[in-house]
Amino acid sequence: MEATTGFEVTPRLVGQQVFLDVSPWSDRLNAQRQIQTQEVNTSIKATLGEWVDLGGVNESTQSSGNTPFGYNRQSGQNQLHILVKVDVVN
């Protein structure tokens, strides 16, 4: 039994416009060891050769506190963006 997470992008070309059918999904194993799937479908209109941002995460973290060796302060940033681009290939 395999649980997966991912997405599929299907382009449809209409003149110089591209319609992207985007279908992300996420599977998880429940307590009864059955796979439960969440999915959604959406369409995005773009121009040929244009990068399209499908989504992303911008995350900032900060922590501080005393340790046996002194004062500790940490900060971090995590950025993830999913981009797609459609070009015509001859």
The structure tokens listed for 82 are 């999913």
Residue 27 buriedness (CB in 10 A; 0-12 / 13-18 / 19+): middle
Q: Summarize pLDDT for 27-70 with one digit per residue, the tens.
A: 888 888 888 888 888 999 999 889 998 888 788 888 888 777 78
> Among 21, 79, 81, which Cα is nearest to 55's?
81
Q: Give the Cβ contact number of residue 86 at 10 Å.
A: 19
Bridge partners of residue 46, in order along the sequence: 18
Predicted local distance difference test score (pLDDT) of residue 1: 66
Predicted local distance difference test score (pLDDT) of residue 31: 86
